[in-house]
Amino acid sequence: MILFREYHVRPILDGIKDETSKESTFAKVLILKVYPKFLGDFTSEDAWNEGGYTLDELKKVWIEINKIWMPDKMVTRVKFKLVENLRDTK
């Protein structure tokens, strides 16, 4: 899964953008599950799994990134586990 900024959506959908570049990789992960969920159905456990947040903290972070929290917005959840940390060279 690759996350794109909003300004990339139209060029992708119009078939103009079909490549992307990434900065260096920091880890390899294994995707365990991909599923849809409404923001309004997020639980405290979901918030914790998003990065150790409370539900209120997750909402604040979401708003910082996406500008608005819309409970009726469907998002795609991606459950993963760390396979390899590429930043630690111990």
Distances (CA, A) of 76 to 34, 39, 87: 7, 10, 27
pTM: 0.73
Q: Where are the domains of the chain?
A: 38-85
Cα–Cα nearest to 55, from 74, 42, 36, 72: 42
Per the CB < 8 A criterion, the answer to whether 53 and 47 are in contact is yes
Q: Reply yes or no on whether the pLDDT at 90 is more than 70.
A: no
CB 27 within 8 A of CB 84: yes
Contact present, 51 and 9 (Cβ < 8 Å)? no
φ/ψ of 16, rounded to 5, equals: -85, -45
pLDDT digit string, tens, across residues 9-58: 899 899 998 888 777 778 888 889 999 999 999 999 999 999 999 999 99
Helix (H, G, I), strand (E, B) or coil at 32: strand
State the pLDDT confidence band at 72, using cuts at 50, 70 and 90.
Answer: very high
- Asked if 75 contacts 39 with a C-beta cutoff of 8 angstroms, the reply is yes
